[in-house]
Structure 1
Amino acid sequence: MEQPAGDRSSADAMTPLGSTAVGAEPLVGAEPLFGRERDLARVLGHLARGPLPVGPLVLLGEPGLGKTALLAEVGRKQAAAGGRVLYTSGVPYLAQPGYCALAQLLHSVGGGQADRGFGGSLAVALGSDTGASPEYEAVARDVASLVTDLARVQPVLLVVDDVQWLDRASAVVLGLVARRLAGTEVGMLCAARPGAETFFDHRGLPVHELGPLADAASEELLAHRFPALVPRVRRRLMAEAQGNPLALLELPVSLTDSQCAASRPLPERLPLSRRLQDAFASRVTALPAATRHLLLIVALEGSGDLQVLRRAVAGRSHLKQLAPAESARLVLVDDASGRVHFRHSLTRAAVVELSSSDQRRSAHRALADAWAAVPERQARHLAQAATAPDEGIAVLLEGAAASAGRRGDGQEAVTALLRAADLSPEPGARARRLAEAAYLSANITGDLRDVPRLLDDARRAAPGAGSAVAAVAGSAYLLNGSGDLDTAHRLLSGTVALAPEPLGPDGPLGPPGPPGPDDATLFEALYTLMMVCFFSGRPDMWSAFDEALGRCADPPALLTLSRSTFGDPARARPGDLRQLDAAIAELSGEGDPMRIVRVATAAAYLDRLDGCMEPLERVVRSARSGEGVVPAINALFLVGNHLMHTGQWERLREVAGEGLELCEEYDYPMLAWVGRFVLAFPAAACGDWSTARQLTDQMDQWAGPRRVEVVRSYAAHVRAVAALTQGDPEEAYRQAALVAPAGKLPALVPHALWLVLDLVEAAVRSGRQREAREHVAAAQEARIEQLSPRLRMLQSAASAFASGDVDHPGFTDALTVDGGARWPFDLARIQLYYGEQLRRSKAVARARDQLTAAAEGFVRLGARPWAERARQELRACGGRGLPSSDPRPAPLTPLTPLTPLTPQQWEIARLAAAGLSNKQIGARLFLSPRTVSTHLYQLFPKLGVTSRAALRDALQELELG
């Protein structure tokens, strides 16, 4: 049985193999340790320096780190190898007679050896003989002699656990024994807490310090013992436990099933179990009352700033009273940084857990006084100290929520709003604040499943109050969740139609003030309505948005800019482009993740995402630390969009895979289709027909009934590229024309910009020269060449391709666009088309140059069908395909229906179906978790599944088939 904790009572103590001590359990049957491979190797290596175990080793570690479990594993291995293990342990809290622990150690030594082993001073010490009280040195000498004699028969290992709780006589003697055993054939392992007071003197003995578990091991332990925990709950528990195995095993015990599944939020402060309290509380309860009061203030304040503590105590106490806690190694006072730190978060938790509610409220009031100059911090402490509704505190909390939301800390914002709702005396204010919390849950934190409950609570608090905020929150829920765009559009259209005229200036959502619609809420409604209109892909839906925007006296600049550059980029004006470039330049110092994502979204169709990469990466990093999940999903797919066009397809698969994993974990199906599109595009270009077909079929099946036309455009785009890759221009033309018919760049269909060259190529190759020329004319009329260098490159190439004239300047113009190499797939295609035209006009040498460059570009991308087409053209020019210095990739082998997975994908799928996490799978297969995630999202469509839960059945069907 696994023993994760290193400090236990005697009832839990282990005894030597073969012993029968009451209340003890043997050193056998332990489960495998998690994350202790190096520690185990270090201890076993020390004990096996020679042919037999040799000398003492002290194992140091904080409570709960697993010292006892490690001792058990070492003892089991020593016993299995034919050794003899003698075990004893200190016992906390209980009065113990002298030599109690020593007697336990030698309990199993007897029989024919008793007379020889228990004579002299040792016999007197253990009570089997009478006489004067022996000297400790004499007893230690007898013990060392006894175990050395035993070692002549078989290897002997002494295990002494919890030396800080040994009775005084045993502790002194065993400390002396350890020194006598140095260099002998007897091994000795002693486990202790660092800095704990003890009579066991281990100075000068070899020491191995046990540290916290790594994140991968912590996650593996939680997944093994609590498989029902969803990833975000595991992450919260891991953050609380800080690698402490006892905490990892005990903290989940207090959670309900709904909390384990994240359908209900976790409490702000996780309660400690009795075992955790016992492990961490003993040194706290021994402190003076004034020291415990100071520790409580430190624990509740959070930053450890000594200046804040001085303001909080304000002459009622003195920071020198922290000294007892510092001596007990509970805290570290760092004068250089001016901060005090708890050495472990569970010590902080124990300090809070051991305090009364009155003591906590008193500490919060003191901290509120200390933070009087910082309303956001003051509000947090006043809220904790409050015992009745208080509108003043609620207003402060609402302001704090707005500040937290602007810096991307959505969870803190939601927590503040929920507490503000609790403290709201008026039902209307309570309803509005609950609705605002629902909005933030849907748009920032990723707690989409909480939205219906919060909105229902708001309706019950005051029907009709806060209806504008509730409409925005409900629409965000529908947009991001079920994809019911029509209902979301009706909700938002009704909200903006009721707005007073004219709408005023910008501001944060729901600033402090009386309940009711406000300009900021309505601007958020317009942002949400714009995304509803975009995903719908139906121009008629935009009329409500445009009407409301037209009534705005001073709308947010980014909102009007996004309407132009994102809603209808083909008609963006030069002034819009300058404004967009300025907004991108300002992102370097931007801390609001929502604004970063909105600016990057405005830039996406106009090929300006390269200037947004660093801010977007910041948004993603924040989410990895638990903040702003929804902005991070959008940021990951925006980064993926950039990587798709710039040919960084290997990294694209990792980035999109991470985003799709977040979509699955937090249940955001609408956003997931963007990630699947950026994965499907390179699959189509690289000849992975199965993946491209599965993803596009899923897009149509989901988007069709919901009339989410943008997702259907994604599918059509991928199918058009796949058809061109396979040499089927008829199908390619049909698919491209579904997005935009030949000769038109429809208003409010931004995706049409990305298919200009595809439609023209498909039209020419299918014999539709007139349609090709009409589409080129439409692109020229829209002046898309002014929108971005990439679009200029595509339009120039499309013009030349449609003309059929090898001397058309379009090819040269396209290939000389500044920075054209940034878009390698587009560039290689243009080189291929130009090379084909040159070969047909008998300009063989020039054709060979273009075709060679095209083939090399396709090979670097892994676009094997395109590379093969370029090779065929090269061979027709009298060449040999690629130069010999460039290795020719293996021919593409179509995947058969019976074996759609590669061997590695099959193994990853099998392990994922068995319930292993990405980290666990990566550890087994020597892959990074991101690589595992990428493989999973490549193999899901091959198996026709969309989640890990369906993997097992899919694999069984495949095996049976």
Structure 2
Amino acid sequence: MPINTKSCVLRGRRREQEALERLLREVSAGQSRVLVLRGEAGVGKTALLDHLAETAPARHVARAAGVELETEIAYSALQQLCAPLLGRLDRLPEPQRDALATAFGLSTGTPPEPLLVGLAVLGLFAEAASERPLVCVVDDAQWMDRMSEVILAFVARRLDRESIALVFAARSPGDEQVLAGLPELRVEGLPDADARALLDSVLPGPIDARVRDRIVAETRGNPLALLELPRGLTPAELAFGFGGHGGTPLVGRVEEGFQRRIAALPEDTRTLLLTAAVEPLGDVPLLWRALERLGVGMDAAAPAAAAGLIEIGTRVRFRHPLVRSASRRSAAPSGLREVHRALAEVTDPGRDPDRRAWHRAHAALGPDEEVAGELERSAGRAVARGGRAAAAAFLERAAELTPDPAKRAGRTLAAAAARFAAGALAEVPELLASAELGPLDLVQQAGVERLRAKVAFALNAGRAAGPPLLSAARRLATLDPAAARETYLAAIGAAVNAGCLGDGDLRRAAEAARGVPAGGEPAGLLLAALTAWSLEGHAAAVPLFARALAEVSPHNDVDLVWLSGAILHEVWDDVAFLTRTEQAVGYARETGALSLLPSALTFRATALIYAGRFADASDLLEEAEALGNATGSSPHPATAVILAAHRGREEPALELNEALVNNAEAGGLGWLLAVAGYSRAVLYNGLGRYPAALRAAREAARHEDLAVLQWSLGELVEAAARAGEHAVAARARDRLAARTRAAGTDWALGAQALADALAGSVAPAGSVGSVGSVGSVGSVGSVGSVGSVGSVEEHYREAIERLSATRLGLQTARARLLYGEWLRRENRRADARAQLRVAHEAFTTIGAEGFAERAGRELAATGETVRRRTLGEREELTPQEAQIARLAVAGRTNPEIGAVLFLSPRTVEWHLRKVFTKLGIGSRRELASALRDR
């Protein structure tokens, strides 16, 4: 951390100071604000942070700084920032409290998920800000450890009304990506007049004005460069500016200047500077103990302090981080090892075992099993705290120091697994290649293949992933059958995703998977079911799907949730579809499973669409998108496209659809092409444009896509029936029957009855085969029995009865609409009105605008006046306010709502007050009735 410059006058920084002072005013008024000061090294970011801290006397101020040597120590920057706030830790909900305590090593427990740690930090900040506004300042953010960066970026994107300022200073350009997209203030060089005045304050004597202007231009007004580069140069040497540096970057020239100044110091002072540079905490007692080991006395600090390079008080503070790096780069390798050795010797192995191990690792001259073992234990502690990137760094260094080739290969393989778990996929292949250089046993060989396959699937879950996954699975078959089953399942999953673009990949993978022994674990059961589905058809797979679904849950295999979600459609189980999606979201929230939550939210949103709960589905999709913005993980795009199609607003729906098609084609994801076709069919059926719906549905139903085919067949029957394509409707009806027969649920039989009604209502009597009598749905009846009015009406009635027994409100409304349309064409206007009114009301309430308009047109054709609902002049709730209101009606407390929506309880309270004002109520007790009235 640079030396405090709070006594310095900030020249030329009026714009930046005004921005920071405005930020403080807004925070004092109850807002929360985030800002990234972005600029090159030495431009004055730290001075601005100091100014911010000075001008916030009535506020909590918490500070931290990234340190280059600490980038592999998990949560190091975050722990600095939170340390003064930890007295409020026991105010947090227990899961969050435990997660943060475990992450900081204050207690032991299950390795916390980043999301849960993020919620805990958000809550801790909010608790502190409830007493007085909180200002959190993070300097040198480009050197934060990965976990601190992820957590603080998450918190930054969730702040709202807590009276918190979170301000980062980061170099430009910076390596960190997680802070991208946060509000930024570019800090440039000083204006020329201020730069000249600053330069004059350090020049050894008068120089030609043109030379001075050249120096200002060369430094681009960088304050540190203006102050440091002239040091030690005579007027004669300055006569031609800073010539002789060629194309050396400005930061490099400043660091070279520091190196020259360090080189002029006594040897003991250089050792002191190097020791302080290598010890990242600024711990003065620790520094003196290490220097004592090195034979350096306290008086060695005086020359460095006199040169303005370091300040030693309660903490060690450098003039600038470049002094730290210049000291390290000036040191001989042997001297650097000696310093690390001294620091390792004086670091308490009980209180700080990981830093001790890290110093010992850097002090080692060659292989050292004792140090390697210590690093391996540090990796275990890092994993226990949730620091997977730190664990990988410890293991990589442990492998380098391991003398035994077999142990070295094992530790390298463990490092590769840790890098994969940390999301650093690009670094895994090289580590796996290194592991393969050593002797690996069969289990380790299987581990290499398994991890390589996981990386392939994570990087591209579509067409490109299938062949390498299949190849890896075949090699694993004799080494580790369980790993082989998991990898075959991934290969089949990739082929399912590839869909029509897979070129036979699905069949090849399924045929190969039949050679691996069966397994009773969730992956093995799903593999058996999908293999049967691929090779023998839907009916053969249904009982196997049911058995597998009984075993798969988020609690026993998070990675399989996405696949089990699609399979629930194949067995037509609406109860499981809704309950399991709710369980998946609940599990992800409870555990803070960052890897699961975005997919769980979109999985749940899909179920809510079919349940007719569009507002809730939209809320979850917004939440998934916000989470994606906070973590860099984008939610699955298909559900948003399906929702837009059902809403029936043509232009936005088609825009999303086109983006999905582009996404699918670029990634080799034919399954998404089917989703796009199905969604267009829904959109055009809702709008009553049946030829367009027919084209889209035929395209979607060309391939046997998991789950999507049955959706598409229903749309195809409806579009073909309404477009007068009788034979097409009948063929689609029969394809659907092959799927609904095996399932036998109310959802399946209701969908089939509706298809039978539609196909029968357009076919000439005797022209089409169909299901026979009502009550024997699923058995093929005689040709000619469908076209009669009586049988058609019976099918419509059965469809409504069966679908009403499900939790699928949208499907029930569509059945009523179709029945009402048929009744009107049979000139039974009163009966038609009864069905169409219910359908119109349902679609209007749900938000299915296209279908509501279609139902409204039909109602009008019966002679009924259809009045549009109006909301008058009432102020509408925002989507977030509506979601908070619904959660409050469900009995959730403010902390519980905050945990669901990733908001602080204080922000939830603020939004609820706005909701009460808009609804004209005074308490939670009135919420339910006010929302119903609305």
Give the TM-score taking structure 1 as reference length.
0.52
Out of 855, 880, 883, the residue aligned to residue 870 of structure 1 is 855
Aligned amino acid, residue 175 of structure 2: S
Partner of 1:795: 752
Out of 497, 500, 515, the residue aligned to residue 551 of structure 1 is 515
Task: Kindly state the Cα deviation for residue 642 of structure 1 after the two structures are TM-superposed.
Answer: 1.6
Task: Kindly state the Cα deviation for residue 432 of structure 1 after the two structures are TM-superposed.
Answer: 6.1
Partner of 2:6: 12
Out of 833, 839, 850, the residue aligned to residue 854 of structure 1 is 839
2: distance between equivalents of 1:545 and 1:391? 46
- Report the secondary structure of 1:258's partner residue: coil
Determine if the alignment matches structure 1 residue 236 to structure 2 residue 146. no
Aligned amino acid, residue 536 of structure 1: A
2: distance between equivalents of 1:404 and 1:479? 24
Determine if the alignment matches structure 1 residue 613 to structure 2 residue 569. no
Partner of 2:427: 453
- Report the secondary structure of 2:865's partner residue: coil
Partner of 1:757: 714
2: distance between equivalents of 1:791 and 1:564? 23
Partner of 1:481: 459
Task: Kindly state the Cα deviation for residue 761 of structure 1 after the two structures are TM-superposed.
Answer: 0.5
Determine if the alignment matches structure 1 residue 522 to structure 2 residue 484. yes
Determine if the alignment matches structure 1 residue 777 to structure 2 residue 734. yes
Determine if the alignment matches structure 1 residue 630 to structure 2 residue 595. yes
Partner of 1:493: 470
Out of 153, 175, 183, the residue aligned to residue 258 of structure 1 is 175
Q: CA offsets per residue over residues 212-239 of structure 1, 9 Å max, x none? A: 559999899779x979999986443479
Q: CA offsets per residue over residues 346-390 of structure 1, 9 Å max, x none? A: xxxxxxxxx98767678775479xxxxxxxxx9999899776654
2: distance between equivalents of 1:65 and 1:524? 56
Aligned amino acid, residue 736 of structure 2: A
**Structure 2 CA distance for partners of 1:494 and 1:726, relative to 1, 3 Å:** same
Partner of 2:617: 652
Out of 494, 498, 507, the residue aligned to residue 536 of structure 1 is 498
1: distance between equivalents of 2:281 and 2:346? 23
2: distance between equivalents of 1:381 and 1:784? 67
Partner of 1:594: 559
Q: CA offsets per residue over residues 693-732 of structure 1, 9 Å max, x none? A: 2222223334336542111111111111122123222222
- Report the secondary structure of 2:476's partner residue: coil
2: distance between equivalents of 1:395 and 1:520? 32
Partner of 1:740: 701
Determine if the alignment matches structure 1 residue 704 to structure 2 residue 674. no
1: distance between equivalents of 2:614 and 2:128? 37
Residue pair 2:382, 2:390 contacting (<8 A) in 1 also: no
Task: Kindly state the Cα deviation for residue 640 of structure 1 after the two structures are TM-superposed.
Answer: 2.4
Give the TM-score taking structure 2 as reference length.
0.53
Partner of 1:32: 20
Aligned amino acid, residue 56 of structure 2: L
Residue pair 1:683, 1:692 contacting (<8 A) in 2 also: yes
Residue pair 1:620, 1:632 contacting (<8 A) in 2 also: yes
Higher relative contact order (CA 8 A, sep 6+): 2
Partner of 2:819: 834
Partner of 2:298: none
Aligned positions of 1:911-950 closer than 5 A: none
Higher deviation after alignment, 694-703 or 571-580:
571-580
Higher deviation after alignment, 811-820 or 838-847:
811-820
**Structure 2 CA distance for partners of 1:840 and 1:739, relative to 1, 3 Å:** same
Determine if the alignment matches structure 1 residue 714 to structure 2 residue 675. yes
Out of 579, 585, 593, the residue aligned to residue 547 of structure 2 is 579
Task: Kindly state the Cα deviation for residue 654 of structure 1 after the two structures are TM-superposed.
Answer: 3.5
Structure 1, unpaired ranges of 5+: 16-21, 43-62, 75-208, 264-272, 290-327, 329-354, 369-377, 502-516, 891-901, 903-917, 932-961
**Structure 2 CA distance for partners of 1:832 and 1:481, relative to 1, 3 Å:** same
Aligned amino acid, residue 551 of structure 2: A
**Structure 2 CA distance for partners of 1:390 and 1:834, relative to 1, 3 Å:** farther
2: distance between equivalents of 1:213 and 1:655? 28
Structure 2, unpaired ranges of 5+: 31-48, 61-124, 181-273, 290-313, 315-338, 762-787, 874-878, 880-901, 916-934
2: distance between equivalents of 1:636 and 1:390? 46
Aligned positions of 1:278-297 closer than 5 A: none
2: distance between equivalents of 1:752 and 1:280? 60
2: distance between equivalents of 1:782 and 1:791? 8
Partner of 2:638: 677
Higher deviation after alignment, 686-695 or 380-389:
380-389
Q: CA offsets per residue over residues 20-59 of structure 1, 9 Å max, x none? A: xx99x99x955434775588579xxxxxxxxxxxxxxxxx
Aligned amino acid, residue 854 of structure 1: A
Aligned amino acid, residue 54 of structure 2: T
Out of 843, 851, 854, the residue aligned to residue 828 of structure 2 is 843
Q: CA offsets per residue over residues 835-856 of structure 1, 9 Å max, x none? A: 1111222332221111011101
- Report the secondary structure of 2:827's partner residue: coil
Q: CA offsets per residue over residues 880-922 of structure 1, 9 Å max, x none? A: 225x8x55999xxxxxxxxxxx9xxxxxxxxxxxxxxx999x9
Aligned positions of 1:178-327 closer than 5 A: 212=128, 234-237=149-152, 257-259=174-176
Task: Kindly state the Cα deviation for residue 570 of structure 1 after the two structures are TM-superposed.
Answer: 3.4
Partner of 1:70: 56
Task: Kindly state the Cα deviation for residue 411 of structure 1 after the two structures are TM-superposed.
Answer: 5.7
Residue pair 2:341, 2:359 contacting (<8 A) in 1 also: no
2: distance between equivalents of 1:441 and 1:286? 32
Aligned length: 611
2: distance between equivalents of 1:64 and 1:830? 67
Out of 804, 810, 821, the residue aligned to residue 795 of structure 2 is 810
2: distance between equivalents of 1:716 and 1:676? 14
Residue pair 2:129, 2:164 contacting (<8 A) in 1 also: no
Task: Kindly state the Cα deviation for residue 485 of structure 1 after the two structures are TM-superposed.
Answer: 2.4
Partner of 2:95: none
- Report the secondary structure of 2:605's partner residue: helix
2: distance between equivalents of 1:390 and 1:845? 88
Higher deviation after alignment, 651-660 or 681-690:
651-660
Q: CA offsets per residue over residues 172-191 of structure 1, 9 Å max, x none? A: xxxxxxxxxxxxxxxxxxxx
- Report the secondary structure of 1:816's partner residue: helix
Q: CA RMSD in A?
A: 5.9
**Structure 2 CA distance for partners of 1:829 and 1:695, relative to 1, 3 Å:** same
2: distance between equivalents of 1:240 and 1:815? 48
Partner of 2:525: 561
**Structure 2 CA distance for partners of 1:927 and 1:240, relative to 1, 3 Å:** closer
Residue pair 2:602, 2:624 contacting (<8 A) in 1 also: yes
In our comparison, the structure showing a higher alpha carbon Rg is: 1
2: distance between equivalents of 1:399 and 1:382? 7
Task: Kindly state the Cα deviation for residue 633 of structure 1 after the two structures are TM-superposed.
Answer: 3.0
Determine if the alignment matches structure 1 residue 824 to structure 2 residue 809. yes
Residue pair 1:408, 1:594 contacting (<8 A) in 2 also: no
